[in-house]
Structure 1
């Protein structure tokens, strides 16, 4: 039943897009709706922040959870988002079948209890059915925010001495090689076992404000491992080793899977990493707390090429006094471009409900416009936290900056083979289909009014066919396009790193 519902909603959406083409073709909407733009949303599962609203291991709960996710993903598709960041590991508990970590209580109701289905497998399939990318969102080190877990896996980790506690926060100790390798191994399970498009870490590393002196619980380990380094540099190196090892694992396993990190929004201050990696210091008053309190150095990660992209959490409005949005977005853009990384700022909708809804909506539009305007390399993007707030802004996004579909920015690192071409393109009973190209994971589909020639339909920047004609992305060698007359269709191979192959036209 869910599959039938998805197909119906997609057919209706594509019918609307085809109707809109006749209006848009005269004005070439690509100037206000770029062809390449990461449009992501975070789906938080800890404490059921975004999903699910209920927990349990019986069929009734599973069906309700799946219905809720279907509604969420349908909204993402209507909003022309490109990417869903689905939280699959929040506190060393998981939303997939793992050989090493317990099931999350946030899906089954009890840590370690099998919910009777595999949420990650299901969400990936449902995202792809809608042409959406699915990124697995992982909290790399966090174990607990105050709860003492007691599954067999938790007891084993305690026995091995892997856990590091300060205040109410407990993490896997990044200073221990075995603990770091465990993080790499759990990421390997995800990358090898699931058809994800990307993997992203957020900013949970060391416990916040853990002491940097003899009172620290990891002081003895530090002195035995690297007393010639500063305590802080040793901790940052431990975090970076983990990030680098995950990057290498992905490169060896599925090089088309993108790997990124979502750090705190302020970095590169004069008293932290500013100037350390050849970058100009950030010019805002707010502090770079992540460098010396959770021991994260995202500039170093970009400099050393251990991430493909960053999505800094610039969680302040455009009018903020100490951390104004535009200077931070501009600085991150320049920094990422300097190091050859992509940068997709992360904005928050959490303040919705406080003050004027109209002003929150207006500021979101200003932030998206800013992200586009200050980009120095054309790799545009905005990541939205979080999914539960999308209904409040759906109208202004769908009727404004996200009015037309977009593709993720292309990562051209030479790690993929030639894109190839589809063959035997045909249209029958409203379904466009073709013979798959060898090795292709997905495709882009375009509909161009017959009065527009293929040459006239090309993007002015040379990036293939203009975005105004884009119907969407499909992970299958077919797409429902309806029976409306007056269009010629084109299909391109669309690689995991978002490169497009040559268009094949059906006249």
Structure 2
């Protein structure tokens, strides 16, 4: 009797778990899924200063491999932490976070940015180059190279809170920062330019930003210094936007601001929050305006608060931002670094906090994805966050949301698809006559369903299963456009499978599928 009861309860538990799994909605086919990879202070990469190029490369490939398993389809990599470079540059010195000494080149020589670009694209990931526009030194102890811009143009800088920052009120500063960004845009095949939340520095109590002389020299017709400061940042953002669109209109421009634009106390158009240092009033960054005027393509507000936070409730902010997208893309920045570690709030010790945030973002209109700070925090799997991404929320691959206002191409479907079984897996080869960004490989189990004719008692006809390209469950891989071959190494059961391939342009508009090819796989 006990044995039968035990078997009954085990069967009941399995049934309930299966029903729960089936009740979870299928992840969307298109969604921006990214992590920030910070280089400043060696937060994420490289693991420490002075590592050999070989070890740096090994580390970065491991990071990408893990995030590919996590379902991540874009990386936002910090390539300019503090007026220095994680790439070959004639304008700024090599970063100390690479070699241990600012200005000291790689030995043996290599270009980290080109390497990272190539590796990300191999894995079907977009690469967004993350610049910190105004920070010149990271801390008061920083030792800069002789050719660092603070040495060449000391009059451009202000010392604030122990650090040197570019003075945003000087027009030459705006032009210099634009030149640095455009140097990368012109020389590298990046997918996006990305700024974080550091514009005018976060205010320190009783320490006003010392720009009296700059205001007197460049205020023009402005009688309000705060408006003038916002104008200075506006001019930088608009200038970079115009410059990118003039040479590579397909490159995306995104900003990740502080999560509150204005509190309700700052004006009726603000959010119902009371958080300190809103971007509009404290950092002089009118991020909402940049979306409204189309100067940027996407925004990632850093909503690093838990659901129910009294000063800045995650749900309140998600809904506010979703109502202020102005037909531009909105992704949500998640504070993965707080999960299980924030001693101030017990809510961050709840394993369901980030999953609830992801669910809320997905069901809110006008939100197209999520970004996590930072890479290492996700990879450490706090409260099984990484497991949740792999097993549930990012279970299947996703294409990126389409930016309709960007440059699009008309793509023909790939043709002459050949599929055959090899010792290493199912090998696919196809042809295509156009330059494309990626190919998408789909695999379907070939099922048969009976279709009865009128005289069904005499004859029965079978039809192959109709492939559904709208479901991400069938995506096997994204292949960078320079390749027209792929080996499906997925362990398969014996049976028949159907493969099709589509092409994507830079905005991930998708072509019609190639002709479907069936293979009989023998295990």
Which TM-score band (shorter chain)? 0.7 to 0.9
Q: Structure 2: how far apart are the matches of 1:288 and 1:418?
A: 45
Residue 447 of structure 1: how far off its partner (Å):
1.0
TM-score (norm 2): 0.83
Larger radius of gyration: 2
Residue 40 of structure 1: how far off its partner (Å):
0.6
Whether 2:417 is the aligned partner of 1:425: answer yes
Q: Structure 2: how far apart are the matches of 1:465 and 1:495?
A: 18
Residue 283 of structure 1: how far off its partner (Å):
1.5
Secondary structure class of the residue paired with 1:152: coil
Whether 2:438 is the aligned partner of 1:445: answer no
- Per-residue deviation, residues 374-406 of structure 1 (Å, max 9, x unmatched): 1x23x5201000111223122122111111111
Secondary structure class of the residue paired with 2:467: coil
Q: Structure 2: how far apart are the matches of 1:454 and 1:343?
A: 40
1:344 to 319, 328, 331: 331
Residue 415 of structure 1: how far off its partner (Å):
2.0
2:507 to 483, 497, 502: 497
C-alpha contact 2:408 2:509 (8 A) present in aligned 1: no
C-alpha contact 1:212 1:232 (8 A) present in aligned 2: no
Residue 335 of structure 1: how far off its partner (Å):
0.6
Whether 2:376 is the aligned partner of 1:388: answer yes
Secondary structure class of the residue paired with 1:480: strand
- Per-residue deviation, residues 25-82 of structure 1 (Å, max 9, x unmatched): xx999933111111110111101111111222xxx72222222112111110001111
Q: Structure 2: how far apart are the matches of 1:501 and 1:81?
A: 22
Residue 296 (structure 1) aligns with: 285
C-alpha contact 1:269 1:288 (8 A) present in aligned 2: no
Q: Structure 2: how far apart are the matches of 1:357 and 1:399?
A: 23
Residue 114 of structure 1: how far off its partner (Å):
0.9
Q: Structure 1 pair 268/499, CA: closer, same or farther in 2 (3 Å)?
A: farther
Residue 118 (structure 2) aligns with: 125
Residue 223 of structure 1: how far off its partner (Å):
2.2
C-alpha contact 1:408 1:498 (8 A) present in aligned 2: yes
2:31 to 37, 42, 49: 37
Secondary structure class of the residue paired with 1:143: coil
Whether 2:85 is the aligned partner of 1:77: answer no
TM-score (norm 1): 0.85
Residue 150 (structure 1) aligns with: 144
Residue 325 of structure 1: how far off its partner (Å):
0.7
Equivalent residues in 2 for 1:18-167, closer than 5 Å: 31-56=25-50, 61-115=52-106, 116-144=109-137, 145-154=139-148, 157-159=151-153, 161-167=155-161
Q: Structure 1 pair 243/211, CA: closer, same or farther in 2 (3 Å)?
A: farther
Secondary structure class of the residue paired with 1:301: helix
Greater shift, 118-127 or 148-157, is seen at 148-157
Gap regions ≥5 residues in structure 1: 1-23, 459-463
Whether 2:471 is the aligned partner of 1:466: answer yes
- Per-residue deviation, residues 102-156 of structure 1 (Å, max 9, x unmatched): 1001011110111222111111111111111111111111111324543232266
Q: Structure 1 pair 268/436, CA: closer, same or farther in 2 (3 Å)?
A: farther
Residue 360 of structure 1: how far off its partner (Å):
4.1
Q: Structure 2: how far apart are the matches of 1:157 and 1:198?
A: 30
Q: Structure 1: how far apart are the matches of 2:273 and 2:166?
A: 33
Residue 231 of structure 1: how far off its partner (Å):
0.8
Secondary structure class of the residue paired with 1:471: strand
Residue 453 (structure 2) aligns with: none
Secondary structure class of the residue paired with 1:489: strand
Residue-pair matches, total: 464
Please give the root-mean-square deviation of Cα atoms over the aligned residues, in Å.
Answer: 2.6
Residue 227 of structure 1: how far off its partner (Å):
4.7
1:315 to 304, 308, 332: 304
Residue 91 of structure 1: how far off its partner (Å):
0.3
Residue 361 of structure 1: how far off its partner (Å):
2.9
C-alpha contact 1:449 1:487 (8 A) present in aligned 2: yes
C-alpha contact 1:488 1:505 (8 A) present in aligned 2: no
Q: Structure 1 pair 471/93, CA: closer, same or farther in 2 (3 Å)?
A: same
Whether 2:405 is the aligned partner of 1:406: answer no
- Per-residue deviation, residues 408-462 of structure 1 (Å, max 9, x unmatched): 111111522313332222224432222234221212221122227898433xxxx
Residue 287 of structure 1: how far off its partner (Å):
3.8
Higher RCO, 1 vs 2 (CA within 8 Å, ≥6 residues apart): 1
Greater shift, 397-406 or 288-297, is seen at 288-297
Gap regions ≥5 residues in structure 2: 1-17, 449-462, 518-523
Secondary structure class of the residue paired with 2:318: helix
Q: Structure 1: how far apart are the matches of 2:194 and 2:348?
A: 31
Q: Structure 1 pair 211/283, CA: closer, same or farther in 2 (3 Å)?
A: closer
